[in-house]
Structure 1
Amino acid sequence: MATLAAFSSFFFFFFLVTFASADTGKVGINYGRVANNLPSPEKVVELLKSQGIGRVKTYDTDSAVLAALANSDISVVVAFPNEELSKAAADQSFTDNWVQANISKYYPATKIEAVAVGNEVFADPKNTTPFLVPAMKNVYNSLVKYKLDSNVKVSSPIALGALQNSYPPSSGSFKSDLIEPALKPMLEFLRKTSSYLMVNAYPFFAYSANADKISLDYALFRDNPGQVDSGNGLKYSNLFDAQLDAVFAAMSAISYNDVKVVVTETGWPSMGDENEAGAGAANAAAYNGNLVRRVLSGSGTPLRPKDPLNVYLFALFNENQKQGPTSERNYGLFYPNEQTVYDSPFVSTSGNSSSTPAANKSKTQVPVSGGGGGDVSPSAAGQTWCVANANAGEKKLQAAIDYACGEGGADCRPIQEGATCYDPNTLEAHASYAFNSYYQKQVRKAGSCDFGGAAYVVTQAPKYGKCQFPTGY
């Protein structure tokens, strides 16, 4: 059966990541692996390279992953686990051994550029906060010992939950109980080592919890009236900038406004529960696409206009074993089978240009939107087709085929036994043909390529054997 992975390479994106002139920010991606159905690390590296993705952040130091990334020219942020913080804080020899086994062993063939010591430690229910800064210092000292400190930074991602106040941005402040024991020592360490603060920022959470108060356009970087900060008069056109400036204001309040910031996680889920307002493929495509354009513009936030934004999108794959609401398992840009979860209007560049984004307009890919939403305008975006989402499961796919071929009015004669599109005789291939027939008969109108999440839109003709998918009736 032909894979749909090839469909993704023509439009997706990162372009970005390797594209970074001195005047623009950088974009990377988080490679989470809380799933039992992901491709091998070798295939993941192939996917990253095929998309031009030059920066990746992991959540551990898995040997297979780091070995696969060797000689790929992909920059890597690795993670030191929360559960080992107490050992790292208490014993320099422990971090010496850890650095030897997890950094020295792979560097420089694997371009490890930073160690994230812990992840959102302040929110860790096991109260590992007291160990954080001592652990960071010991990891750094171990890097110094092995002469890696000039190439590998040490930091730790914090969540926006570390803020006591975040609105308006100018009133941003850290929780008082974190300032003296943790934040000041950490920021002082980052300053002395010329490192940066890692911040995980999700406008989705703020919007979903306050959809009655926050404009969706404001959350998705779309045109909107904006908001003026009553404290300093600065105008904000999007929630992401406002969240970051709340962090900058909090840092400035304790005299660390010279420390740089990298957004190590941000994203928008393509699916969620009924109470998760805003979750959906079209919104995810809009958020990530518009954020990337925002980063490539080279401009900073209203409070730090001269500091380009550097971000890592969350995440590379949907992760089926993550706990929590449905959204937690649906942040991926790709399904585990390497199909794209949704199409998104990203800019593709050569990866080594030093020109501005405007100079690369000739490389802009055809914009499409909302896999599963089917809301692509053929006149604006060219021909589109509807294909099955193999991850929807056999039961959902079969039910959707029954509907499409029954009351939906799709022409399913070509997938009957002995007919022209019977081979390959697989549920995915037959479902894709049926869904596309329905979609084309509906004149590709919004919502006609959905089937409850069992289908999504692509912009290259599906290839299943010798079958020709129709483009109209």
Structure 2
Amino acid sequence: MAVSFLPCFLILCLFPTISFTHTESGMIGVNYGRIANNLPSPKNVVSLLKSQGINRIKIYDTDKKVLTALANTGIKVIVALPNELLSSASSNQSFADHWIQTNVASHFPATEIEAIAVGNEVFVDPKNTTPYLVPAMKNIHTSLVKRNLDKAIKISSPVALSALANSYPPSSGSFKPELIEPVIKPMLDLLQRTSSYLMVNAYPFFAYSANADKISLDYALFQENVGNIDSGTGLKYNSLFNAQLDAVYAAMSAVGFNDVKVMVTETGWPSVGDENEIGASEPNAAAYNVGLVKRVLTGNGTPLRPREPLNVYLFALFNENEKPGPTSERNYGLFYPNEGKVYDVPFTARSAFPVNGKGDEVPVVSSTSTFPVNGKGDEVPVSTWCVSNGEMARDRLQAALDYACGEGGADCRPIQPGATCYHPETLEAHASYAFNSYYQKNARRVGTCYFGGAAHVVTQPPRFGKCEFPTGQ
């Protein structure tokens, strides 16, 4: 494998010090649900959002107090037309006009409303509101056009993954046949014509919890894993999240819509669950959300759409004590109602990734031979290794490998042709060996397993053929 030496700054400074909630690579927002009787006031919530660097939220209505509190804050918001109003909005243009004027136009532009979610997971609404969805979306869009707001404010509708008839392997993704002609095609056509995007609610937790005997927890939590190969495309998947998204892309392609983008309007992992909710725990929730944030900041999309940035809204801002259903439903929050963190998720690129490799910042997962086990800072000593991010773009991964073997001073002799670790002859395996050499050489110091997001720390010894990875040099 050819090694060309690149300057350090090309590797260590790929991510500037900016809020991670909106980057060139993608963006992260947070859902602000309010089904609770103990939440802070909207004014205090705005202060919390600003203190954490969160500049995008999604709400489930058009509450006047919330929208007023958001005015002139620079925080962008997605608002929603609830399912119970779909029938009126679909059958009466004047109703849609009045709703837009009262709930959207009267707040805009002081409150930066950037999209309207028309309904939420309508296909599984027990009140059978599906027939009203597309007509309501069209009328709401017409109302925006009348007020010259259609370019600034997009419309869409969050779709649950249950709208898919098949999702595995991702290349075989397809929508349920009974939805395609009545609603999927006309909805995607509208989104295409208005340059909008399909909103998708994706929860790897549900798939894992129901199939824990078949799905690796590491695969669901963005941890190091062997991955899965899609037999239809030959693409490798190292995360369930990416596989779910690509199943949606494949389903859209199957009905003739290849150019509609996807925004993940809900995804998360519960910190507490019932006994039968396998995988619900604080460390797992922290691992999922931190892993997802890092995934967005790598600057890559999914294996099927590698150049499409990931745009994601985490669920949710707070634990909500009045939500019905299993215990998990009340425990998706990043924060407790008293504004304390349930676990730590970084909300700036600086806190998500150290930028100087010298340990001045604390990374998402500590590289100091400790690993948080409960999301609260309690740690137990473990051996750690540094491996490559298998979903990083190849050019970035190659550049990071070149630096490690060049200026970084890693011992790359074992991955030269004919040497002990040359096989498997893959970029991912060679990069992992070089990154770990650099990491161990620098005493596993914080920031030395970074390489512009191309590497991360693991607590299990890497397995690449018969090659043994050292734990110290």
Tell me, yes or no, if the aligned pair for 1:347 and 1:364 is still in contact at 8 Å.
no
- Is 1:93 the counterpart of 2:97? The answer is no
What CA distance in whole angstroms lies between the structure 2 residues aligned with 1:358 and 1:365?
A: 7
> In 2, are the aligned partners of 1:348 and 1:363 still within 8 Å (CA)?
no
Q: Which residue of 2 aligns with 1:376?
A: 379
Q: Is the 8 A contact 2:74 2:112 kept in 1?
A: yes
Q: How does 1:45-444 map to 2 (within 5 A)?
A: 45-344=46-345, 346=346, 348-349=348-349, 359=355, 364-365=361-362, 367=364, 369-371=372-374, 375-377=378-380
> Structure 2 residue aligned with 1:17, among 18, 21, 33?
21
Give me the whole-angstrom Cα distance separating, in 1, the residues matched to 2:18 and 2:316: 13
**Counterpart residue type for residue 224 of structure 2:** D
Q: Secondary structure at the match of 2:333?
A: coil
Query: Secondary structure of the residue that 1:17 maps to in structure 2?
Result: coil
Give the residue type in structure 1 aligned to 2:362: Q
Cα distance, 1:379–1:149 mapped onto 2, change above 3 Å: same
Tell me which residue corresponds to 1:397.
none
SS in structure 1 of the partner of residue 316 of structure 2: coil
Look up the match of 2:442: none
CA separation of 1:363 and 1:82: change in aligned 2, threshold 3 A: farther
Contact residue 21 and residue 348 of structure 2 kept, 8 A: no
Q: Give the C-alpha shift of residue 220 in structure 1.
A: 0.2
Aligned-partner residue type, residue 157 of structure 1: P
TM-score, length of structure 1 as denominator length: 0.73
Structure 1: runs of 5+ lacking an equivalent: 1-12, 381-473
Distance (Å, rounded) in 2 between the aligned partners of 1:357 and 1:319: 30
Offset, 1:348: 2.6
CA distance in 1, matches of 2:318, 2:263: 21
Are the structure 2 counterparts of residues 108 and 171 from structure 1 closer, same or farther at C-alpha, using a change threshold of 3 Å? same
**Distance in 2 between residues matched to 1:210 and 1:160, nearest whole Å:** 16
CA distance in 2, matches of 1:185, 1:178: 10
Other-structure match for 1:398: none
Q: Do 1:269 and 1:281's aligned partners in 2 also have CA atoms closer than 8 Å?
A: yes
Query: Which position in structure 1 is the counterpart of 2:412?
Result: none
How far apart in 2 are the matches of 1:117 and 1:265? 15
Label 1:370 to 1:87 Cα distance change in 2 as closer, same or farther (>3 A).
farther
Whether the aligned pair in 2 keeps the contact of 1:122 and 1:128 (CA below 8 Å) is yes
**Aligned equivalent of 1:34:** 35
| TM-superposed deviation, 1:60 | 0.4
C-alpha separation between the residues in 2 aligned to 1:314 and 1:45?
17
Contact 2:353 2:361 in 1 (8 A): no
Q: CA deviation at 1:376?
A: 1.8
Letter matched to residue 245 of structure 1: D
Q: Tell me by how many angstroms 1:257 deviates.
A: 1.2
1:358, distance to aligned residue in structure 2 (A): 7.2
Query: Which one-letter code corresponds to 2:155 in the other structure?
Result: V
Give the Cα separation in 2 of the matches to 1:340 and 1:214: 29
**Distance apart, 1:192 and its partner CA:** 0.2
Shift, 1:121, TM fit: 0.2
Structure 1 contact 348–365 (Cα < 8 Å) conserved: no
Q: Match of 1:79, SS?
A: strand
C-alpha distance in structure 2 between counterparts of 1:370 and 1:313, whole Å: 21
**Contact 1:76–1:112 under 8 Å retained in 2:** yes
* Paired residue secondary structure (1:66): helix
Contact 1:343 1:370 in 2 (8 A): no
- Secondary structure of the residue aligned to 2:379 is coil
What SS does the corresponding residue of 1:257 show, helix, strand or coil?
coil
SS at match of 2:97: helix
User: Counterparts of 1:306 and 1:215 in 2: how far apart (Å)?
Assistant: 27
Check whether the contact 2:21–2:347 (CA below 8 A) recurs between aligned residues. Answer: no
Moved over 3 A (4+): 356-375, 377-380
Counterpart of 2:349, as a letter, is T
8 Å contact kept, 1:347–1:365: no
Q: CA deviation at 1:232?
A: 1.3
1:372/1:225 Cα in 2 relative to 1: closer, same or farther (>3 Å)? closer
Cα contact 1:296–1:357 (8 A) shared by 2: no
TM-score (norm 2): 0.73
Partners of 1:358 and 1:178 lie apart in 2 by 46
Q: Which runs of 5+ in 2 are unaligned?
A: 1-16, 366-371, 384-473
The CA deviation string for residues 107-161 of structure 1, in whole angstroms up to 9 with x for no partner, is 0000000000000000001110000000000000000111111100000000000
Deviates more, 1:365-374 or 1:118-127: 365-374
Contact 2:32 2:316 (C-alpha < 8 Å) held by counterparts: yes
How far the C-alpha of 1:379 sits from its partner, in A, is: 10
Contact 2:53–2:347 (CA<8 Å) still a contact in 1? Answer: no
Q: Give the number of aligned pairs.
A: 361
Does structure 1 retain, via aligned residues, the 8 Å contact 2:344–2:375?
A: no
Query: What letter matches 1:331 in structure 2?
Result: Y
